[in-house]
């Protein structure tokens, strides 16, 4: 493991791939890896890319990566695929599209499938992000299909979240998924070569204005006016950027938006706020998992089962059952807490 960790720190692709797989499949490996690597993390700009199926996320990620490479920045890509657990078809398609980047050692591409990951996809993605961060990638792009909780999880893990829309999906404000303003730092209207792109842009901008009118808050800050960039009071204005990913159009502009958002996060202190929020959620998750494991070790299965049965039979209420379970968790330490 030590040797593997060393090679990861040196940015060796094979070692990185191997460690991600290990961490995906073993809690112990995850603990060892994160303990060893954590102090080397916190450097990468983690960028989430989410949006409806087929809106052009993979094509866009491919183009973004090329643009970052032009600036001589190393890029890691994680493609999260929660929607198709049965075939490798979608992933294969992504690989073909990302072939422009094949052979470039400044780039690392990893697909995460929902099956086989121990603590769930969000957990596995978070592990991979940490490894890539410690491996020295200054930019990590995480593509996830807009499917409810997954996109929220990614937004929570990312510093900058891009929500990708495409024209022809109704272009009614109501058809945009509720909550995208909660997670979007940058709105992208891809497929701007398609008819109706202007209407989509207008609809999104209208939505941003409505948010302003009803004092919708974005990450605790008010949005939003059409002119881009932080306002006098320092709040972030969500920009709407048109792109045609298949022709590389709008990509340099989008990278400027991303870098502007990075500068805003750093200057405003929001970067630290988000890191703290993420850390808080992570600690709570780990604590929950460890408490559950501890209970499973200290309370015999038949005792646990007896409590479940008693609660089901209304012989005991669930609070009393939990109190009894808790009494098994090293009572001496609890007294001091």
Which residues are at the interface with Mg ion (CB under 5 A)? 57-58
Does 168 contact ligand GTP by CB under 6 A? Answer: no
User: What is the biggest distance separating any 2 CA atoms in the chain, rounded to whole angstroms?
Assistant: 69
Nearer to ligand GTP, 64 or 223 (CB): 64
**Residue nearest to ligand GTP according to CB distances in the complex:** 56
Per CB under 6 A, 193 contacts ligand GTP: yes
Q: Provide the pairing of β-strand 160-165 with 217-218.
A: unpaired
Measure the CA–CA gap between 101 and 99, rounded to whole angstroms.
Answer: 5
Rank residues 58 and 125 by Cβ distance to Mg ion and give the closer one. Answer: 58
Candidate residues 19, 65, 112, 145; the one interacting with ligand GTP per rule CB under 6 A: 145
Secondary structure of residue 147 in the 3-state scheme = coil
Q: Please, which of residues 29-58 interact with ligand GTP by CB under 6 A?
A: 53-58
Window 81 to 110, contacts with ligand GTP (CB under 6 A): 90
Partner in contact with 114, chosen from ligand GTP, Mg ion, none, beta carbon below 5 to 8 Å by kind: none
Give Cα 242 to chain centroid, integer Å. Answer: 23
Among residues 74, 110, 191, 218, the one that binds ligand GTP under rule CB under 6 A? 191
Instruction: Give the other-Cβ count within 10 Å of 94's Cβ.
Output: 22
190 is a contact residue toward ligand GTP (CB under 6 A)? yes
Residue 144: contacted member of ligand GTP, Mg ion, none (CB under 5 to 8 Å, by partner type): none
End-to-end CA distance of the chain: 35
Question: Considering the complex, what minimum distance in angstroms separates the CB of residue 56 from ligand GTP?
Answer: 3
> Strands (DSSP E) along the chain, which ranges?
45-51, 75-81, 107-113, 139-145, 160-165, 186-189, 217-218, 221-222, 240-242
CB-based contact 326:292 (threshold 8 Å): no
CB of 77 to Mg ion, least distance (A): 11
* Number of other residues whose CB lies within 10 A of the CB of residue 215: 8
Residue 194 binds which of ligand GTP, Mg ion, none (CB < 5-8 A, kind-dependent): ligand GTP
Q: Which is nearer to Mg ion, 11 or 52 (CB)?
A: 52
Indicate the residue among 11 and 167 with the shorter CB distance to Mg ion.
167
In this complex, which beta carbon is closest to Mg ion, that of residue 57 or of residue 261? Answer: 57
Q: Which is nearer to Mg ion, 58 or 241 (CB)?
A: 58
Nearest to 114 by CA among 105, 104, 123: 123
- Do 214 and 159 meet the contact criterion of CB atoms below 8 Å apart? no
Looking at 101-159, which runs of residues are DSSP E strands? Answer: 107-113, 139-145
CB 252 within 8 A of CB 67: yes
**Residue with smaller CB distance to ligand GTP, 57 or 130:** 57
Given the rule CB under 6 A, which residues bind ligand GTP?
Answer: 53-59, 90, 145, 190-191, 193-194, 244-246
């Amino acid at each position: 493991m030590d040797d593997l960790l060393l090679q990861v720190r040196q940015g060796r692709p094979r070692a990185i791939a191997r460690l991600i797989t290990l961490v995906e499949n073993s809690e112990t490996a995850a603990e060892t890896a994160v303990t060893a690597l954590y102090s080397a993390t916190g450097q990468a700009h983690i960028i989430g890319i989410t949006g409806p199926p087929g809106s052009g996320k993979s094509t866009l990620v491919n183009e973004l990566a090329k643009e970052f490479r032009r600036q001589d920045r190393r890029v890691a890509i994680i493609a999260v695929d929660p929607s198709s657990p049965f075939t490798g078809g979608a992933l294969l398609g992504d690989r073909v599209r990302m072939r422009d980047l094949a052979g470039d050692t400044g780039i690392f591409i990893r697909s995460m499938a929902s099956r086989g990951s121990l603590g769930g996809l969000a957990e596995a993605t978070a592990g991979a992000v940490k490894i890539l961060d410690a491996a020295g990638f200054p930019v990590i792009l995480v593509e996830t299909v807009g499917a409810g909780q997954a996109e929220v999880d990614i937004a929570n893990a990312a510093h900058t979240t891009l929500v990708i829309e495409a024209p022809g999906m109704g272009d009614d404000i109501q058809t945009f998924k509720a909550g995208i303003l909660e997670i979007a730092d940058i709105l992208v209207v891809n497929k701007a070569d398609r008819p109706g792109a202007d209407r989509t842009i207008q609809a999104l901008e209208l939505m941003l204005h409505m948010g302003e009118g009803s004092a919708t808050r974005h990450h605790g800050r008010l949005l939003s006016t059409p002119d881009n960039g932080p306002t006098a009071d320092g709040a972030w204005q969500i920009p709407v950027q048109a792109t045609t990913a298949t022709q590389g159009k709008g990509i340099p502009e989008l990278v400027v938006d991303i870098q502007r958002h990075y500068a805003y996060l750093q200057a405003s202190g929001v970067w630290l706020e988000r890191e703290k929020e993420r850390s808080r959620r992570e600690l709570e998750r780990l604590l929950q998992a460890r408490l559950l494991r501890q209970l499973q070790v200290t309370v015999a299965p038949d005792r646990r089962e007896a409590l479940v049965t008693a609660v089901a039979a209304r012989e005991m209420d669930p609070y009393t059952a939990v109190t009894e379970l808790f009494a098994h968790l090293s009572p001496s330490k609890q007294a001091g807490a």
